Amino acid sequence: MSFDHVLANLNSSQHAAVSSFADTLAILAGPGSGKTHTLTSRTAWLLHQGLQPWNIIVATFTVKAAREMKERIGKLIGNGLESKLVLGTFHSISRRYLARYGHLIDIKKDFGIADSADSLAIIKRIIKRHNLNIDPGAARSRISSRKAKGDHYVEAKPPAKSVDIQEFETCWTEYEEALKRSNLLDYDDLLLRCVQLLRTHPSCVSNVEAVLIDEFQDTNIVQFDLMRLFAAQRKRITIVGDPDQSIYGFRSAETKNFKRLLRQYPETVTIALEENYRSSGAILLTALGVIEQDTSRIAKSLMPTHTVGTKPVLRKLGNAHKEAEWLVSEIQRCLGLTGTLLDGNDFAILLRSAALSRLIESALGKAGIAYRMVGGHRFYDRVEVKIILDYLRVINQPDNNDALARIINVPSRRIGETTVKAMLEEAEQSSTTLWSLLLDTAQGNRTMKTKLGKEADRNIGIFIDLVLKARKKIASCPDQKYSTVELIDYVVSKSRFEDFLEKKYSEDHESRWANIQELRNQAHDFEAQLSEEDEEALPEIDGLEQDGSSNPLSKFLANIALASEVKKDNDGPEVPQVTISTIHAAKGLEWPIVFIPAAYQGSIPHSRAEDSDEERRLLYVAMTRAKALLYISLPLKNSQGEETTLSPFLSPLSLSPLLDKQGPKIGSSLVQTFAQILGRPLPSVESIAISSSNLKCSEDSLFSLEGGEGFANDESRWAKWDGQHNFTMGQRAPKRQRT
Ligand code: ATP
Ligand code: MG
């Protein structure tokens, strides 16, 4: 197969990077310069060079990015090898290694993953039990940031000087013990334990021939160590990144990793990419105007390849309600006046914090515009979905105290909340798990101090039976090929879940039940396509004992725990959806039209943010997601009714001609520029007539149809707008020749 077509679409620096024979290659460049594109093409090139896909590790920052990259590589090489790459987030790659080789460092099979809510619940209990004077959220972040720096609680224990430190140490130590008892690893553990595994058993990665990393600026020290360990055998490393887009400092990402790389791999070849292929000239210029305020950064050259296009819009609205309504009306106007050129998928609303989404969601909902939330409230966090997932987690791993405590009385088994807490406490006091305590008591091997009523006692017996039978079902299935869907059906029917929903949520039980059906569909899809996150894709290594692969249920659960994106809701066939995302989760992505609302001091920079440069970079990342049109807005008053001031990162630009205070005129010339920037065909006049026929907006906002005459994609036709909602199509009169 020829590879020329791949190389032909690259500029000369990208070409040099893709086909470089350097052992260590660093591509440092600005947003939209094709870093990810280059990394993708380089992976394809390595495959083309004859490297086996299972010997190549590609680490991306989000699950979505991993999926997109896999698709793109597939398109470039077209032989299906991409599905065999070890490609995913650092967390998912680490999980795969731990699932296969975790037994070598005493990790129990089918370990569960503690998500942030689990971690918090555990910490809250510890704080309560020991009557500690710490805030649970703060304790969790502190533990996580210590672990993200590579500290391990046992090794790192400093002599406790103050009460503060002592209390924190108690909390941390007990937290680790609780995780261990429940056979859970938290997100930080996935990385830390993988480092431990590869340090002690480097042969696990003896096959690896190349390691490629996207978004390197946001790696932390543990991820840097992982990269080194992955590449320990053959130092083939390619990293791409942009220090100007480093936005995870608050999670211990280390911009120092660039320096570390150059120090530890002095032969590193560095390549710069200087052309921006994403954004219009006007958007890029404005974004550069923001980042260049940071005088301590190392300047990089970044030139637009597109036309200047439409100026970014800066609008102030009366309050956050009005802002949300305006934003939605702009989406409708853009959709209505551009025909088939755009659909809902082309819009993103990027927020500094997920909490800002409520008003925007409700305005979109009112307007009947479908949307998806990224990095916010997830499908899997819905109460009913979480309950069934907790059942599955308990079936997979009954020692998971928290999951068990959450469902033991759901549906009601006549066990009060205080009793559940007391049982949990009793279990932890006697260094056992809630499950063992219940099971032992039920089997008459031990008596529980916490007393239950007769009915509760009997109900617990039924519950234990449910879990044991489900576990038996897993174990007795030949090759463990039982289906998660069947398991969900089993749990739902045995616990009479539908009745429970009907009783408890009389108003919306139907939609909740539909969510359970959606979960079932997802389990079905997951099994059908056999997970990409599968450790079975790792090659077998001679002389290294593998753990039998983890069961399909734990793979399904891990896949959910590591998903950063909201799964599809049960809203029927896929319709184009506007994306609402936090800026953090939007990294590396791009959309034709981007909105950045709430651009005021206190929101960005956030009032609680410590690093103002990082906040500026965050705004820069958000702005550089836009291809054709960027809207920035702010309400004059915040939700507390206080007057706002424009973000200081934007105020120097607000008086400049870079920004448009009115809003774009959407007419034929704008549509043509968009089509050009997006590389899409021009919409037909008819499609504009149809899409705008439902548009309820004033004559004023349709002024842009230039006197009532639309444009035609072939010069021979025209459309006339009657000032109401009607267009008439016709032949365009022949242009008069200018003399
Ligand atoms: P970010 O820093 O935001 O992650 P990036 O540097 O990774 O950006 P990409 O996402 O790889 O940039 O590329 C941005 C856009 O430019 C993509 O749509 C990509 O397909 C396109 N692109 C990249 N290189 C070229 C090229 N040589 N010719 C045409 N389009 C290109
Ligand atoms: Mg990228």
Q: What is the pLDDT at residue 621?
A: 97
Candidate from 36, 37, 678 with most ligand 1 atoms within 8 A of CB, to mutate: 37
Q: Tell me if 254 CB under 6 Å of ligand 1.
A: no
Strand 269-273 and strand 24-29: the pairing is parallel
Alpha-helical runs (H) found in 201-291: 221-230, 256-264, 281-291
* Distance from residue 213's CA to the centre of ligand 2 (Å): 10
DSSP state of 738: P
- Cα distance between residue 621 and residue 279, in whole Å: 12
Catalytic residue among 625, 627, 644, 673: 625
What gap in Å lies between CA 111 and CA 185, rounded to an integer? 7
| Cα distance between residue 677 and residue 696, in whole Å | 28
Q: State residue 149's pLDDT score.
A: 83
Q: What is the position in ligand 1's atom list of the atom closest to the CA of 33?
A: 6
> Which residue numbers belong to the known binding site for ATP?
29-36
Q: Per residue, what are the HEC states of 697-728?
A: CCHHHHHHHCCCECCCCCCCEEEEECCCCCEE
Could you give the 3-state DSSP secondary structure of residue 631? Answer: strand
Predicted local confidence at residue 260, as pLDDT: 93
| Among the listed residues 589, 584, 588, the one whose alpha carbon sits nearest the alpha carbon of residue 345 | 589
Q: How far apart are CA 48 and CA 26, in angstroms?
A: 21
Q: How many CB atoms lie within 10 A of CB 400?
A: 25
The answer to whether 35 is a known catalytic residue is yes
319 alpha carbon – ligand 2 mean position (Å): 35
Nearest to 548 by CA among 190, 108, 230: 108
How confident is the model at residue 378, as a pLDDT? 64
Which parts of 576-667 fold into alpha helices (H)? 612-623, 651-654
- Domains of the chain, with CATH numbers? 1-109+190-273 (3.40.50.300), 115-185 (1.10.10), 286-375+568-693 (3.40.50.300), 379-532 (1.10.486.10)
**Is 93 in contact with 229 (CB distance < 8 Å)?**
no
Half-sphere exposure of 387 (CA within 13 A, CB side): 20
- Please name which of 638, 63, 64 lies closest in space to residue 353, comparing C-alpha atoms: 638
Q: At what angle do helices 612-623 and 281-291 cross, to 10 degrees?
A: 180
Between CA 335 and CA 732 the distance in angstroms is: 25
Cβ contact 685:340 at 8 Å: no
Token pair of 627 as six digits: 């291809």
Average pLDDT per block of 10 residues along the chain, 739 residues long: 83 96 96 96 94 95 86 88 92 94 91 88 90 91 87 58 81 92 92 95 95 95 95 92 88 84 95 96 96 89 94 94 94 89 96 85 90 74 90 93 92 89 88 91 84 86 93 73 88 94 88 87 76 63 70 84 55 78 92 97 90 94 98 90 93 87 81 92 80 56 41 48 53 46
Which of the following is catalytic: 14, 24, 36, 60?
Answer: 36
What per-residue confidence (pLDDT) applies to 1?
Answer: 58
Whether 625 is a known active-site residue: answer yes
**Selected catalytic residue, list 176, 214, 346, 384:** 214
Indicate the pTM of the whole model: 0.85
Distance, in Å, from the CA atom of 165 to the CA atom of 173, rounded to the nearest integer, reads 12
Crossing angle, helix 187-200 and helix 136-148, to 10 degrees?
30
Q: What is the whole-number distance in angstroms between the Cα of residue 146 and the centre of ligand 2?
A: 28
Is 36 touching ligand 1 by the criterion CB < 6 Å? yes
Tokens of 396: 């997979």
Pairing between β-strand 591-596 and β-strand 275-276 as defined by DSSP bridges: unpaired
Q: What pLDDT was estimated at residue 738?
A: 43
Predicted pLDDT of residue 728? 56
The order of strands in the sheet holding 347-351 is 313-317, 626-635, 591-596, 347-351, 578-582, 371-374
Q: Which residue has the tokens 């958000």?
A: 622
